[in-house]
Amino acid sequence: MQNFEIPLGLGLEDPQIGRSLQIAFIEDTEEYQKTIPFELLKQRERKPVPFHVIINPKTTIDENEYLEFFEGSLSVHDCMGIVPRARAVRVECLNEKAEPIVIEAKRWYARISQHEIDHLAGNIFLDLVITRSLTTEENYEKYWRNQSIEEVRQSLKNK
């Protein structure tokens, strides 16, 4: 089996490493969150998610509520934008032992899950992004990282 170097990200799925399988790996540790201000973690409803594997996922939107936040992807170098995602999803899948499980993902975990499962279907965040919000990672860090989505949207309206 070929070894792969896995870059830092919140998830990775087989199409990103040249495999045609329905397997995704998800993790969002406290370490990843250390540089994010508490208020932004709270606004994003972001809490640590332990490493786990999902195989052949089927997603159902549990709520009609959608939230918007910036996303990027290891598949699209140096690009970020605001993406609306469901606040809660139900994921029926197999775990790493091929046992059937159901995941009730909420908040940021729901966002990560939707992002990774989109990749398995051949979609990337650019397919859903609010086009006017597209920016480089450098400009995101410089202008938008510590702003609320409402502040970003207001700034984009005024330009």
What CATH number has the domain bearing residue 108? Answer: 3.90.45.10
pLDDT tens-place string over residues 66-76: 999 999 998 89
Residue 5 domain flag:
no
Other beta carbons within 10 angstroms of residue 146's beta carbon come to 11
Looking at every residue in the chain, the average pLDDT score rounds to: 86
Model confidence at 123: pLDDT above 90: yes
Residue numbers of the domain that contains 130:
11-157
- Residue 38: what pLDDT? 87
What are the two backbone dihedrals, phi and then psi, of residue 85, each rounded to the nearest 5 degrees?
-140, 150
Please report, in angstroms and rounded to a whole number, the separation of the first and last CA atoms in the chain: 51
Closest CA to 115 of 16, 17, 4: 16
Residue 68 lies in a domain: yes
Residue 86: in which H helix or E strand, if any?
Answer: strand 76-86
Asked if residue 83 belongs to a domain, the reply is yes
What is the sign of the dihedral through the CA atoms of 155, 40, 112 and 32? positive
Q: Is residue 144 part of a domain?
A: yes
- How many folded domains does the chain comprise? 1
Instruction: State pTM to two decimals.
Output: 0.82
The model's confidence at residue 56, banded by pLDDT at 50, 70 and 90, is: very high
Residues annotated as catalytic (active site), given as ranges = 116
